[in-house]
Amino acid sequence: GQQVMQIPQYQHVQEGEDFTTYCNSSTTLSNIQWYKQRPGGHPVFLIQLVKSGEVKKQKRLTFQFGEAKKNSSLHITATQTTDVGTYFCAEGAGNMLTFGGGTRLMVKP
């Protein structure tokens, strides 16, 4: 499957600061999905982006899909301790998903 690179691997922020994680691919992505995995938990679907340049918002979370459909980002405004976890992007081609390496977010209260 396609290689989806995700950065940064880890991010420590102070509560209230913003946070962004990026996914990049060398080839065009058919779509991009974002999942959140809390410590000790399982991945939970957040959103899917399909269209070039698409931007979607969920409260403090903003998801973007690049114009060339080769990159995506997840931005969290004013992080809270409940945002702690690992955020994965994933590309769904056909019937399966290929996950990025994930960005582990830690929030200091």
Name the site residues for other proteins (rule: CB under 8 A). 31, 33, 41-45, 48, 50, 88, 92-102, 104
Residue 13 or residue 92: which is nearer to other proteins going by CB?
Answer: 92
* Residue 16 C-beta: closest distance to other proteins, Å: 26
Where would I find the beta strands (DSSP E) of 1-95? 5-7, 10-14, 19-24, 32-37, 43-49, 55-58, 61-65, 71-76, 85-93
Residue 90 or residue 107: which is nearer to other proteins going by CB?
Answer: 90
* Residue 80 C-beta: closest distance to other proteins, Å: 22
**What would the two tokens of residue 75 be?**
């931005």
